[in-house]
Amino acid sequence: MGYCSGRCTLIFICGMQLSKTNVPQAKQSVNRDTVCVLERQIFDFLGYQWAPILANFVHIIIVILGLFGTIQYRPRYITGYAVWLVLWVTWNVFVICFYLEAGDLSKETDLILTFNISMHRSWWMENGPGCTVTSVTPAPDWAPEDHRYITVSGCFLEYQYIEVAHSSLQIVLALAGFIYACYVVKCITEEEDSFDFIGGFDSYGYQGPQKTSHLQLQPMYMQIPLDNN
């Protein structure tokens, strides 16, 4: 019963890591699909954040494989999923440190998330709740020609805190997924040790009938009565 509950919980966590939830935005009359990795991938595409896009893509593939392994009783897939979750937590911790400017990191000058090929920032910088974008003209001399120079004001929540909230949610889901993945792998391994699905009853000492390569012929003797007449 506990094993079944563990599998169901892990399937639910994998679904949460891929699913989307409706969250209301300020100053808007409609809801947008946000939260979890699919939503994060969309907004990273809009913000040209190439490093998170690559990480999100790998995460989606690994979660699908982990979901397949959980449904099909494949402990190797679940183990791979658990190992990836450790790396996924590490990546999200780095993203949190980046946006909070921990250490020598700077979200304003470092272009790590775009692989230093563009000056784009998070999509939430201009489109956060309550943000008002104002174009500045003329643009300063150092501004690239294909970029516009703007100021953002009036945001109810700064974009770095939105990114931190996304990463924090992913860390919570990853930790829960890691715990249940280890539990499910343990249960599957114990069940395979107690009963061999491939060999049937071989683990209990049962030996099936053996086939012989040839037939052994035995001589037959018949007693014929003699007539004395």
Q: Determine how many CB atoms are found less than 10 A away from the CB of residue 22.
A: 10
Q: Determine how many CB atoms are found less than 10 A away from the CB of residue 161.
A: 14
- The residue written with tokens 């563009």 in the block is 118
Q: Which residues are 21's β-sheet partners?
A: 34
Residue, of 13 and 53, whose pLDDT is higher: 53
Q: Which residues are 34's β-sheet partners?
A: 21
Q: Determine how many CB atoms are found less than 10 A away from the CB of residue 172.
A: 13
Residue 25 pLDDT grade (very low, low, confident, very high; cuts 50, 70, 90): very low
Helix (H) / strand (E) element for 21: namely strand 21-24
Per-residue pLDDT for 22 more than 60? no
**What confidence score (pLDDT) does residue 85 get?**
94
Q: How far apart are CA 107 and CA 165, in angstroms?
A: 16
Question: Which one of 34-43, 131-140, 150-159, 211-220 scores highest in mean pLDDT?
Answer: 150-159
In 3D, which of 112, 132, 126, 120 has the Cα closest to residue 162? 126
Residue, of 189 and 107, whose pLDDT is higher: 189
- The residue written with tokens 């114990």 in the block is 190
Query: What burial letters (b/e) apply to 178-203, b meaning 16+ CB within 10 Å?
Result: bbbbebbbebbeeeeeeeeeeeeeee
Percent of the chain with pLDDT over 70: 66
In 3D, which of 112, 30, 19 has the Cα closest to residue 67? 19
What are the residues whose beta carbons fall under 8 Å from the beta carbon of 44, sequence distance 6 or more?
52, 53, 56, 123
Q: How far apart are CA 172 and CA 176, in angstroms?
A: 6
Of 21-30, 46-55, 82-91, 140-149, the poorest mean pLDDT is in 21-30
Q: How far apart are CA 81 and CA 66, in angstroms?
A: 5
Per-residue pLDDT for 168 more than 90? yes
Of 13-27, 60-74, 196-210, the poorest mean pLDDT is in 196-210
Mean pLDDT value across the chain? 74
Average pLDDT of the segment spanning 95-121: 79
Average pLDDT of the segment spanning 112-117: 76
Whole-prediction pTM value? Answer: 0.69
Q: Which residues are 32's β-sheet partners?
A: 23
**What confidence score (pLDDT) does residue 24 get?**
33
Of 59-63, 131-135, 164-168, the poorest mean pLDDT is in 131-135
**What confidence score (pLDDT) does residue 91 get?**
94
**What confidence score (pLDDT) does residue 201 get?**
46
**What confidence score (pLDDT) does residue 82 get?**
94
In 3D, which of 120, 126, 149 has the Cα closest to residue 136? 149
Q: How far apart are CA 118 and CA 148, in angstroms?
A: 13
